[in-house]
Amino acid sequence: MLGNAVFLLLTFSTMWLVISLQWGEQRRVRGPSPGLGWLRSMRRHRHEIYLPHMFVAFGGVALFKSLDARMRCGLLYYMAIVLLCWLLGVMVARHFSVPCDRALRKFLFMHERLPMPHHM
């Protein structure tokens, strides 16, 4: 029925979702929106997810094709791949990015002193 317009609909739906979440973030008066913790976590780990997600995605597609799975199961495979990408991103952050960041900051700011406060 919609043909290729489905992709346009999905693109605009995603755009409006991102815009509304940004507006909600700027007007935050009652705390973070419930049920969106997973999305905030993906945003927080976006750099760690970016490169390794291709290994998970290619592996997932190869597994999907080798099992001759039906396209009806595609959404389940997609959700599993997104979950695995997130888990890999969290592991990369926890075991590589954060320790490297701490060590680098410690090394770079080792000799830096805080400015002395001026007493009036």
pLDDT reported for residue 91: 92
Q: Is pLDDT larger for residue 84 or for residue 6?
A: 84
Q: Could you tell me which of 80, 77, 88 has the C-alpha nearest to residue 55?
A: 88
CB 85 within 8 A of CB 53: yes
pLDDT reported for residue 120: 42
Distance separating alpha carbons of residues 99 and 73, to the nearest angstrom? 38
Distance separating alpha carbons of residues 22 and 112, to the nearest angstrom? 36
| Mean pLDDT for the stretch of residues 29-47 | 76
